[in-house]
Structure 1
């Protein structure tokens, strides 16, 4: 839903910050599904194109890898930021540079033009990783998450 906000900076959205704790908690399959569906469903509503498959699969793969990464390292604010940094670089390299020839762009031109978008993407993803990921992680780790609530009793 965040991506639907008008007048927001491009590439600044909390998808990565949400994928990391979700994949850590629920595993690689859910991590992949979360990443893939975040892009696929958004593009289905706004504008579906050939890039949808590349970006959705890439974000899905990042979700799956996130699950593996957070099984091997301690879950911390620092590790959320480290993963967000490297995953963002990889995502932007694949979706912004390596697919350039497919859409008729020169790869060097795409690399140069990708720099400001990647800088903004890094700032957003690291910022959200430092602030939102720990909150989501704590919420998902609590025993209250998705637990049925007891009905309120109005008797004396």
Structure 2
């Protein structure tokens, strides 16, 4: 029974995240359409996304649990591409699958940028950066549909 409740809570939180992402997408389209009225050079191609499949999604932090680095380490929080890991932006991916800087959309999570890689992140796996270790553990591991954002988001 406890397992069923936990599964229902998880499904409920995923649905809530999907609704939030859909609302953000609608808001993005509204802004884009307003932008199109102001600037004629925004093309329809700039709004396209290409579905690339279902990926296993995990979560990581800058801390020693994920990276082995501690605050004070000169490379603490620095991604493999040299950027500062940022919650709501940074993901780690297999650079043979996604080039550095690729903008992607993860169902239930939102838009992210490939800025990092990890030894265990190979093939259809993504590691989403979070500031909080507790939040990363709570988010767990799951499958999600993924799209590449073609053009500027």
Task: Judging by fraction of residues, say which structure has more strand.
Answer: 2
Task: Judging by fraction of residues, say which structure has more helix.
Answer: 1
Please indicate the TM-score interval, normalised by the length of the shorter structure.
under 0.3
TM-score by length of 2: 0.25
